Amino acid sequence: MKAIIVEEFGTADNMKVAEVEVPSIQSHQLLIRVKTTSVNFADIKARYGNKGRGKLPFIPGLEAAGIVEAVGDNVQSISVGERVIAFPHHGSYAEYVVADENLTFVIPDSIDFDTAGASGIVSFLSYKLLVEVAQIQSNETVVIHSAAGGVGTTAIQIAKALGVKKVIGTVGSSRKIPTAVSAGADHVINYDEETIVQIVNELTDGKGADVILDSLGGEMTEESVKYLAKFGRLVVFGNSSGQYGQVHTQELHASCRSVLGFSLGTARKERPELLQETAKQVFRLIETGQLNINISKKLPLSDALLAHQLIESRSSTGKVLLYVDNE
């Protein structure tokens, strides 16, 4: 089968198309013929070796949508021929992937493969962050950093579907503002030209944000505490800036504020059973039209290098999708 492999850690030039063997399955696993997969920022970090330097070469990618080709002897809930999304073993930039049954989810007929292949990480993550980690309430205000990206545009829509009172997005370029607005943000701040703390405090009558979703890390994390309301929750789920922020405990206990961390990767590895209900809720939001996955670019699998360059340059908005022509 054809797959994209990373030969050495570093730039996207280290990726190439290669012929590799179709993976075999164990008793609790499924073989899936991939129709679509998508590029996540975690793929960029893995390519550089920033997520732990595993064995080279490797196939990047965290999610895939496709059709079940074979099932292991102990698989009970999914059958050959069903349409699924999955978080596979050993990468998703390939014509075939292997995934555990408990990390594979049958998709409704009304959800197409483009939406399915682009939705797994961003929708599962956004729902977890807002509903289960932050436990956001409809009368609260949420600030979502990187609001024009895949997670950002998805989290904005889910927050709105939950009836959240005020959704404020932040972006690093004025050209990204329309993307966040079209996703449903009530206000969008360009942090390269505006001061977030000042504007958030103005928009909340000095109260601050009840929930902040932070995937940037570094200085953005440290600044976020300055406009976090009493009893507010700062949820850190990434560090795309390449830096980690420092928060002092004196900024927390007297104000009853919390800093919470979440990793969908850790949840998939340690507590995959927690994702079953998440899948049901995400599929419901997509089917009812409350969640539309923003796909800004669709490229063939062989153009994975270009897809990575788009993400890494921060010139893209929404999701970048890769499709597999394996009919």
Average pLDDT, integer, range 288-306: 94
Residue 112, in any domain of the structure: no
Residue 283, in any domain of the structure: no
Domain residues for 310? 2-106+294-323
| Per-residue pLDDT tens digits for 196-228 | 999 999 999 999 999 999 999 999 999 999 999
Q: Which candidate, 86, 39, 40, places its Cα nearest to that of 323?
A: 39
pLDDT computed for residue 243 by the predictor: 82
Q: Are residues 169 and 94 part of one domain? A: no
pLDDT computed for residue 181 by the predictor: 97
| Per-residue pLDDT tens digits for 168-202 | 999 999 999 999 999 999 999 999 999 999 999 99
Q: Are residues 27 and 97 part of one domain? A: yes
| Per-residue pLDDT tens digits for 234-267 | 999 988 877 888 888 888 989 999 999 999 999 9
pLDDT computed for residue 50 by the predictor: 80
Q: Are residues 156 and 57 part of one domain? A: no
| Bridge partner list, 318 | 149
Q: How far is CA 271 from CA 30, 90, 143, in A?
A: 19, 19, 27
The answer to whether the CB of 220 falls within 8 A of the CB of 144 is no
Contact residues for 215 (Cβ-Cβ < 8 A; gap 6+): 41, 145, 146, 149, 151, 152, 237, 238, 239, 240
The answer to whether the CB of 32 falls within 8 A of the CB of 77 is no
CATH number for position 261: 3.40.50.720
Q: Are residues 222 and 148 part of one domain? A: yes
Q: Are residues 254 and 125 part of one domain? A: yes
Q: Which candidate, 148, 123, 127, places its Cα nearest to that of 136?
A: 127
pLDDT computed for residue 240 by the predictor: 81
